[in-house]
Structure 1
Amino acid sequence: MPKLMGGDPANHGDDIAGYVEAVGEGVTGFRPGDRVAAFHQMFTPHGSYAEYSVAAAKSAFHLPNATTFEEGATIPLASMTAALGVYQRLQLPLPWTPVTVPTPLVVNGAATAVGAFAIKFAALSNVHPIIAIAGNGIPFVDTLLDKSKGDIIIDYRQGAEHMNEELRKVAEKHVISYAYDTVSDEASLEMLSKVVYAENGKIMSVVPREDEVIGGITVLGSNVGHIHEPAKEGFKVGNAEFGAAIYNLVSLGLADGWFSGHPYEVAQGGLAGLEGALKSLEAGKVSAKKYVLRLAETPTVLKE
């Protein structure tokens, strides 16, 4: 985050999972001892790279006993980034008013946590066919798709020409109006703009940027931190309330077994393993999984 957004060094851990230690005045629905996960407000004190963290009640949700803290920690930021993109920005229907006609969605970077959660939310809303673009993470992505509804995977490792040809084949059968781009560089934008229908077409970018119309297609920016902001002037509800509703939905899904976190690997050594994990992520050495830290394994904590 500091590298992406700039600013002074800080405790930037924003995914939290653990037991509630205390609740603030007026907080309802949570009590000490509850098993929860939460999304810490970015660029504020008390992030998750510490024994104790602070999060708003609206961005916290209960974890059922069957969901480990490790799995729970993979969910808050990435799932909300996906949900905001699918529902608030692309404005695809919510799960309780599912799609009833074919509604293609291209997900570029489908094996990433955000891409995978975007597929999960889209599928909850019966958005199909899903055209998932992935590489080494294809075996994982395959578990998220419904081939009976036309979902397919395109292997980007076979080159740009192959991707363009496969996308063109889909575009010949369906009008593609929506794309979720977790790669969000100029090359991916150019690729998607060739197949997304110009009239009312939308490409969702995970990079914070101003919305822009390019060749008739609206390229949408993203900022998951918006769920910690108040509703716009003149409105009673906004992204914060949307976030609270989605997190409650996720909690229900975890309890009932129709929602899950992202695959993960525990980085050894607690916080001592953080630097190595971040460098591996930056170098692109990780596919289809997240790194999770167990703070109790941090050497300085163990010595106390």
Structure 2
Amino acid sequence: MANSTDTLPESTMRHVIYDRFGERDVLQVVESEIPQPDAGQVLVRVHGAGLNPIDWKTRKGLGFAARQIENSLPWTPGYDMAGEVIAIGEGVTTLVPGDRVMGMIGFPGVGGAYAQYALAQADELAIVPEELDLMTAGALPLAALTAWQALFEVAKLESGQKILIHAGAGGVGHFAVQFALERGAHVIATASASNRDFLAELGVHEVIDYHTTDVAEECYGLDVVLDLVGGEAGKRSLHTLGEQGVLVTIPTVTADEIVSAAEDMGLRAHGMTVRPDAFHLDEIAELIEDGDVRVHIDEPFPMDRVVDAHEKLEGGHVRGKLVLDCR
């Protein structure tokens, strides 16, 4: 190993686990030995770990990630983190101890971000821009990559196109509206009335209050819909598409029925699952450095309040992101 953890001031770390699927009370904070990086891995002293909807769904035993881990409990959740490289494993040449990094790690079966120290594959990590503190950076990777890949890989959004983004003020949504604006699209977003000003500050052209307005009556001929809500909202949005338009739906539970409904209407819709991509993270980091994109943290939670963090996460209506302070 190129750099040893022997220099660490402590030998144990605190981290969150659950040993069975269930409600929030299965979450517990425990102490374990700090792991050592294997070949190709780095050990990161975590500052911030992002909380994402997949975290609570997996904790309840729902969705594809839960199937990956059901025989590996107890398990430390979390796919998003940022921190400082402490040690590197054999063969790692791209990072050195002291580097400030962020990444979507251990997806979907390993996890491990809700911890004071986490192992990551070196190729999962990107350098954090100086403009971004490590707590905030921890909330970025999974949500920003979801938005980026949905818009530019699946929907192939181009300058001048019209796009509707559901839940524009949420974790994925607030990145998606900024990426779409930066690409030169005309951006319409749905949100509650309390988030209208927030989205206007980000530069969104039109904000639709989903409590009072039916998007199918308000929008037509759209090039792209990014559906971050799923279910009936996703199906209803098909009526806003132009003949050549495409809808990308993120919630996996209702993706199949939305894609089928689109086919029945002669329209295009796709589900998608995010994947780690350090190159995309580098591109996103550049936008942050240039001041074109910002990360909004709704609330940071200390590790001891992980149950409260999951309660707020499950409730939805989070503006931007929630982050676990793992320092």
**TM value normalised by structure 1:** 0.77
Which residue number in structure 1 is paired with residue 48 of structure 2? none
Return 250-259 or 67-76, whichever deviates more: 250-259
Q: Could you tell me which of 156, 181, 184 is aligned with 2:230?
A: 184
Give me the whole-angstrom Cα distance separating, in 2, the residues matched to 1:110 and 1:271: 28
Name the residue aligned to 1:132: 189
Once the two structures are superposed, the pairs formed by residues 202-221 of structure 1 within 5 Å of their partners are 202-208=246-252, 209=255, 212=260, 213-221=263-271
Contact 1:14 1:42 survives alignment (8 Å): yes
Contact 2:298 2:318 in 1 (8 A): no
**Structure 1 position 142 matched with structure 2 position 200:** yes
Q: Which residue of 2 aligns with 1:121?
A: 179
Larger RCO (CA within 8 A; separation ≥ 6): 2
Q: Please state whether the residue corresponding to 2:86 is helix, strand or coil.
A: coil
CA distance in 1, matches of 2:111, 2:217: 48
Conserved? CA contact 2:103–2:278, under 8 Å: no
Q: 1:204-248 deviations in whole A, cap 9, x for unaligned?
A: 1112345542411222111113x4xxxxxxxxxxxxxxx232111
Aligned-partner Cα distance in 2 for 1:256–1:29: 24
User: Where do 5+ consecutive residues of structure 1 fail to align?
Assistant: 94-98, 228-242, 297-304
* Offset of residue 138 of structure 1: 1.9
Aligned to 2:308: 276
1:165 aligns with 2:230: no
- Contact 2:182 2:292 (8 Å CA) reproduced: no
1-structure distance, mates of 2:294, 2:123: 20
In 1, the alpha carbon distance for the partners of 2:216 and 2:196 equals 18
Pick aligned residue for 1:200 from 244, 247, 251? 244
**Unmatched tracts of structure 2, length 5 or more:** 1-53
1:12–1:43: 8 Å Cα contact kept in structure 2?
no
Of 277, 293, 304, the match for 2:324: 293
Query: Identity across aligned pairs (percent)?
Result: 26
In structure 2, distance between residues paired with 1:54 and 1:114: 25
Query: Does structure 2 conserve the Cα–Cα contact (< 8 Å) formed by 1:132 and 1:154?
Result: yes
More strand by proportion, 1 or 2?
A: 2
Pairing 1:222–2:272 present: yes
Q: SS in structure 2 opposite 1:92?
A: coil
TM-score by length of 2: 0.72
- CA-CA distance at 1:17 after TM superposition: 1.0
Aligned residues: 255
CA 29–201 in structure 1, closer or farther in 2 if over 3 Å, else same: same
